[in-house]
């Protein structure tokens, strides 16, 4: 039975949130912490088991637009409406890095992934990416304990002039591909309505999948080569990769602005203006 963990502070709104990764080596363990980013620039860590806020940090002067944990859960990466990315320690409450490479354009996505040994010839224990609304994606190799953060790649995707009558452009979104190492997937307003597969090793787009419209949300399954893509006309698409017939579903009342696969890949959560749906995915 659902229960309220903590109420929001008046005049502030939660803009983004993420679960802390499960501890390595603890089989079946479920994370008991959630980090949330707020409109006043604060980052707040909540304990699910104790139903209370454990930590409040203020690394941003602008509203937060994206947030995630590092792969080991030891750092929190947060992005703001002003394009700044902060790296903060939930243990000390201190912000250890502020990256201004995307300054001036809101951060639309942040994601971390474990980096294989000697991948790309760079030091670091993980890769992470930041995406901003101006269709730029930066990819970094980092080792926060050693105070190392090195730029691996910088992507800029072209687009025509914004069409008339469109109040806001579709978001720029990127995610590491779980089933193809060294690959990320990008969707956003561009020259064509498509999902782009980019190789970090070859430094080029090597695959394109046509879409019926510009995407408004994106999630990649960790268990199978599938993408979930949301659109502005209440449509949700499950797209097999690299090829195959897509499956379209119309169950929302508005733009599908959120898609999230569960870590098992067996469930998919999607959200629109006034509907949150949980999908059970079966094989076959």
pLDDT (tens digit per residue) in 35-66: 889 999 999 998 877 778 899 999 999 999 99
CA–CA dist 192, 161 (Å, integer): 13
Question: What are the backbone dihedrals phi and psi of residue 121, each rounded to the nearest 5 degrees, phi first?
Answer: 65, 25
Q: HSE-up of 45 (CA within 13 Å, CB side)?
A: 23
CA–CA dist 71, 55 (Å, integer): 20
Q: Which domain range does residue 248 map to?
A: 157-283
- Distances, alpha carbon 75 to alpha carbons 72, 78, 128, 282, in Å: 8, 10, 12, 34
Which residues, at least 6 apart from 269, have a Cβ–Cβ distance to it below 8 Å? Answer: 258, 259, 260, 262, 276, 277, 278, 279
Q: Residue 276 domain-assigned?
A: yes
The CATH number covering residue 229 comes to: 2.130.10.10
Among 135, 90, 129, smallest CA distance to 112 is for 129
Q: Residue 107 domain-assigned?
A: no
Question: What are the backbone dihedrals phi and psi of residue 166, each rounded to the nearest 5 degrees, phi first?
Answer: -100, 110
Q: Residue 217 domain-assigned?
A: yes
Among 226, 213, 231, smallest CA distance to 175 is for 226
Give the pLDDT confidence score for residue 24 in this predicted structure: 52
Give the pLDDT confidence score for residue 145 in this predicted structure: 81
CA–CA dist 261, 226 (Å, integer): 10
Q: Provide the pLDDT confidence category of residue 115 given band limits of 50, 70 and 90.
A: confident
Q: Residue 87 domain-assigned?
A: no
Return the percent helix, strand and coil in the chain, to nearest 5: 0, 45, 50
Q: Name the domain count of the chain.
A: 1
Q: Residue 133 domain-assigned?
A: no
Q: Residue 128 domain-assigned?
A: no
Residue 274 DSSP label: S
User: Residues 204-257: pLDDT tens digits?
Assistant: 999 999 999 999 999 999 889 999 999 998 899 999 998 889 999 987 888 998
- Distances, alpha carbon 154 to alpha carbons 60, 130, 157, 203, in Å: 23, 10, 10, 10
Range of 2-11, 18-27, 125-134 with top mean pLDDT: 125-134
* Both structure tokens of 4: 């309220």
User: Residues 167-191: pLDDT tens digits?
Assistant: 588 999 999 999 998 999 999 999 9
Among 60, 143, 56, smallest CA distance to 99 is for 60
Q: Residue 60 domain-assigned?
A: no
Average pLDDT, the chain: 86
Give the pLDDT confidence score for residue 199 in this predicted structure: 96
Q: Residue 222 domain-assigned?
A: yes
Under a CB-based contact definition with an 8 Å cutoff, are residues 130 and 155 in contact?
Answer: no
């Amino acid at each position: 039975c659902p229960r309220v963990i903590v109420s929001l502070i008046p005049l502030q709104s939660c803009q983004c949130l993420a679960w802390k990764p499960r501890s390595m080596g603890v089989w079946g363990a479920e994370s008991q912490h959630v980090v949330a980013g707020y409109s006043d620039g604060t980052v707040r860590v909540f304990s699910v088991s104790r139903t209370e806020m454990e930590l409040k940090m203020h690394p941003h002067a602008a509203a937060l637009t994206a947030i995630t944990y590092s792969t080991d859960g030891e750092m929190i990466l947060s992005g703001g409406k002003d394009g700044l990315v902060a790296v903060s320690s939930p243990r000390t409450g201190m912000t250890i890095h502020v990256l201004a490479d995307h300054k001036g354009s809101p951060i639309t996505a942040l994601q971390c992934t474990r980096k294989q040994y000697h991948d790309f010839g760079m030091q670091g224990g993980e890769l992470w990416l930041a995406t901003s609304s101006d269709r730029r994606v930066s990819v970094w190799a980092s080792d926060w304990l050693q105070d190392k953060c090195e730029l691996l790649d910088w992507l800029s995707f072209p687009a025509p002039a914004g069409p008339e009558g469109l109040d806001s452009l579709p978001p720029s979104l990127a995610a590491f591909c779980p089933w193809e190492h060294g690959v990320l997937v990008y969707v956003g307003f561009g020259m064509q309505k498509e999902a782009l597969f980019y190789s970090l090793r070859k430094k080029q787009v090597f695959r394109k999948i046509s879409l019926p419209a510009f995407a408004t949300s994106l999630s990649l399954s960790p268990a199978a080569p599938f993408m979930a893509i949301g659109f502005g006309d209440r449509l949700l698409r499950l797209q097999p990769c690299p090829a195959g017939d897509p499956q379209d579903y119309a169950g929302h009342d508005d733009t599908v602005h959120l898609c999230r696969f569960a870590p098992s890949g067996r469930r998919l959560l999607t959200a629109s203006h006034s509907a949150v749906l949980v999908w059970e995915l079966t094989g076959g």
